[in-house]
């Protein structure tokens, strides 16, 4: 039943889905609570304290959710209206033949990003199982497409990442996801310590591949998405911590290109129980 409903949504025009999503996003934001408080606090931390900005950010978060069925089930239709003026960045890295790590933050339509990147060759992405077992069959079937392979976020997935990179292929992951099981270091994100994953940095240093941050900007009027690319300058720093800090800085630069489409409600500054103490604070 749920799968049928999702496919039904996918059949609606993109403009309608995004409009409904924006309305729902504003509706959720209108109610006081943790969601609105976190969205405001995180946006303010980055310098976006204006109330009109946070309302637009809430609306774009809704649009992001409602466009997902379209991207999943009408992929060709969506890719036909996805483009970029920065393909030279990707093609230059591909010409080097040493593999690429794509890092896609919670910015714009991150579901279209991986699908767009498959045009350049095989892409292996890492995922975490959904919290609802009802969604698992839908998500699994949505991942099934040519040149796109999903691996779990565990040791097996990491080994598959290393194999893919050593074959000169590409892998993709979220750089702003709070790491689990104590795997992370506290580094600044918009001036505040955030537990930051070091996996991408360690993989880059181990395999010597290029690192490119990317995101799909949602264009107005349901005109599709514009891909953005930002390559991490080389040579990379010598330690995973320093490379992770550079990734955070590059991510901030990318987000500021179209900040209203960042998922400010995400609990980026979460402090897991197994996390090391924040530098300068007592354990």
Q: What is the mean pLDDT of residues 108-124?
A: 95
Alpha carbon 267 to its chain's center: 14
Alpha carbon 276 to its chain's center: 24
Model confidence at 146: pLDDT above 90: no
Model confidence at 99: pLDDT above 90: yes
Rounded Cα–Cα distance for residues 59 and 105 (Å)? 18
Model confidence at 199: pLDDT above 90: yes
Q: What is the mean pLDDT of residues 224-251?
A: 97
**Phi (first) and psi of residue 239, to 5 degrees:** -120, 150
Secondary structure of 38-76 in the HEC alphabet? Answer: HHHHHHHHCCCCCHHHHHHHHHHHHHHHHHHHHHHHCHH
pTM above 0.85, yes or no: yes
Model confidence at 124: pLDDT above 80: yes
């Amino acid at each position: 039943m749920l799968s049928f409903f999702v496919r039904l949504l996918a059949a609606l025009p993109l403009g309608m889905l995004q409009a409904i999503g924006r309305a729902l996003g504003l509706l959720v934001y209108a109610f006081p609570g943790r969601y609105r408080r976190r969205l405001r606090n995180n946006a303010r931390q980055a310098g976006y304290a204006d109330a009109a900005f946070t309302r637009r950010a809430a609306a774009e978060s809704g649009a992001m959710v409602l466009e997902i069925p379209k991207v999943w089930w009408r992929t060709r239709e969506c890719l036909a209206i996805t483009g970029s003026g920065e393909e030279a960045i990707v093609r230059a890295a591909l010409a080097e033949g040493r593999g690429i790590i794509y890092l896609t933050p919670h910015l714009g339509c991150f579901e279209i990003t991986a699908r767009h990147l498959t045009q350049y060759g095989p892409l292996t992405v890492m995922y975490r199982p959904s919290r609802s077992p009802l969604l698992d069959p839908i998500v699994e079937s949505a991942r099934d497409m040519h040149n796109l392979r999903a691996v779990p976020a565990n040791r097996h997935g990491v080994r598959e990442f290393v194999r893919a990179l050593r074959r000169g292929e590409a892998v993709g992951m979220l750089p702003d996801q709070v790491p689990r099981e104590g795997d992370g270091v506290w580094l600044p994100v918009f001036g505040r310590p955030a537990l930051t994953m070091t996996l991408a940095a360690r993989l880059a240093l181990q395999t010597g591949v290029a690192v490119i941050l990317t995101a799909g900007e949602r264009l107005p009027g349901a005109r599709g998405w514009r891909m953005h690319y930002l390559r991490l300058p080389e040579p990379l720093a010598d330690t995973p911590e320093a490379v992770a800090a550079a990734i955070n800085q590059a991510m901030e630069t990318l987000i500021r290109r179209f900040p209203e489409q960042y998922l400010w409600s995400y609990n980026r500054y979460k402090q897991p129980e197994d996390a090391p103490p924040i530098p300068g604070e007592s354990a």
